[in-house]
Structure 1
Amino acid sequence: MKINHLTAAEENLMKLFWKLDSFYLKDIMEQHPEPKPHQNTVSTYLKILVEKGYLSTQKEGRIFKYKVLVPLEGYKKFLLKELLHHFFNDSGKEIFELLFNEKLISKEDLKDYFNHLDMNPVKSKAPKLEIANEILNNPKKDKKGKDKKKKKKKD
């Protein structure tokens, strides 16, 4: 699924939608903090977000029920990858250095993170080499699968 960029206003509404997950227009109007936007404005944004693929609609009588299609985590990953690509030359190291140098992440954060990781490497089973062993250990066969016998010259 391709994720599209959101404007600041669309992003602010999506923050509310991510909390609700499934909702009607009246739910948004009730939940939106003051100053509340006009209902027509919200309807326009809902239409745009449906077109961008962030929301889906289901008609229930005369009204629409909206459902979030792009989860918050998906949007966060999209934004981080965009940031990484456009400003950090696709280098996780560069973004990490900035976070660390600007004290946006601490050594304790890193210790906690790495302590929670399973640092034991996964041991994979060695592949069975039955076919290779068969080829290496069997006498040569011709294209039809018959054993080739070496003819010895009689002296």
Structure 2
Amino acid sequence: MKINHLTSAEENLMKLFWDLNSFYLKDVMEKHQEPKPHQNTVSTYLKILVEKGYLSTEKEGRIFKYSVIVPFDEYKKFILRELTQNFFNNSGKEILEFLFKENLVSQNDLKEYFDLKIEMKPVKVKAPTLEFAEEILNPKKDKKGKEKDKKKKKKKD
């Protein structure tokens, strides 16, 4: 199913239609918030939304019954994909970085959503060798021992 772009006015009406799911023009006029648009205006938008494939019609006597064809979740996916392609280089990572930076999503939100149990394991750090400190703290080596070490090193070279 190909989904087309909606204008902001069409989108606002569709929000009402998604709540109603199946409705008549009079239902829209009753449920619409103040200031209510003129009936002809709503009728025109209904016709446009039928042409765009968001609504279907069924004639019942002299009036039409409208039904939503494109579910709200499908429209959200469409909008998010468009947003990702046009503004975030097709990168979910860029979207998340933006959401974090703008404080629209927190790490706690993600932890709750994914139910992550992150445990930090301590990194094993090799104890540093302190040769100079050992020499100062344990001056037990005599000069003969040092001379032997030097001779061993010369033999290796």
Superposition TM-score, scaled by structure 1 size: 0.74
* Regions of 4+ moved over 6 Å: none
Q: Which residue of 1 aligns with 2:55?
A: 55
Distance 1:87 1:36 in 2: 35
Cα distance, 1:41 vs structure 2: 0.3
Match of residue 9 from structure 2: 9
Return 5+ residue gaps in structure 1 as ranges: 117-155
> 1:20-43 deviations in whole A, cap 9, x for unaligned?
000000000000011110000000
Cα separation, 2, equivalents of 1:114 and 1:16: 31
Q: CA RMSD in A?
A: 0.8
Q: CA deviation at 1:101?
A: 1.1
Task: Determine whether 1:21 maps to 2:21.
Answer: yes
Letter in 2 for 1:107: Q
Q: Deviations over 1:19-78 (max 9, x none)?
A: 000000000000001111000000000000000000000000000000000111110000
Cα distance between partner residues in 2 of 1:114 and 1:28: 39
Give the Cα–Cα distance (whole angstroms) in 1 for the partners of residues 64 and 105 of structure 2: 43
Q: Secondary structure of the residue that 1:3 maps to in structure 2?
A: coil
Instruction: Map residues 96-107 of structure 1 onto 2, 5 A cutoff.
Output: 96-107=96-107
- 1:1-155 to 2 correspondence within 5 Å? 1-115=1-115
- Could you tell me which amino acid in structure 1 is paired with residue 106 of structure 2? S
Look up the SS of the partner of 2:115 in the other structure. helix
Question: CA separation in 2, counterparts of 1:86 and 1:35?
Answer: 34
Radius of gyration: which is bigger? 2
**Identical amino acids, percent of aligned pairs:** 76
Shift of 1:107: 1.0
TM-score by length of 2: 0.73
Larger helix share, 1 or 2: 2
- The 2-side partners of 1:107 and 1:89 are apart by 23
